[in-house]
């Protein structure tokens, strides 16, 4: 019975570690998504500003 109990404890620890790993991956995915969206927004604003500048630039 002692070996069986050790086996069950090991399985429970493995499940906790797997769940913790999945949660860490989920959090990292959300952070990466947030950063990527911010960079995309900044890039779009920069391109829009450049286009506006080119349209408004007086020709000599």
pLDDT digits (tens, 9 = 90+) for 12-25: 999 999 999 999 99
**Structure confidence at residue 54 as a pLDDT band (50, 70, 90):** confident
Q: Which residue has the higher pLDDT, 14 or 55?
A: 14
Q: Where are the domains of the chain?
A: 1-25
pTM: 0.64
Count of H-run helices and E-run strands, the chain: 1, 0
What are 4-53's pLDDT values in tens digits? 999 999 999 999 999 999 999 999 999 999 999 888 888 888 888 888 87
């Amino acid at each position: 019975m002692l070996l069986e109990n050790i086996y069950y404890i090991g399985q429970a620890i493995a499940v906790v570690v797997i769940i913790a790993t999945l949660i860490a991956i989920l959090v990292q995915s959300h952070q990466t998504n947030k950063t990527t969206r911010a960079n995309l927004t900044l890039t779009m604003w920069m391109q829009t500003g450049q286009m506006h500048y080119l349209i408004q630039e007086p020709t000599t």
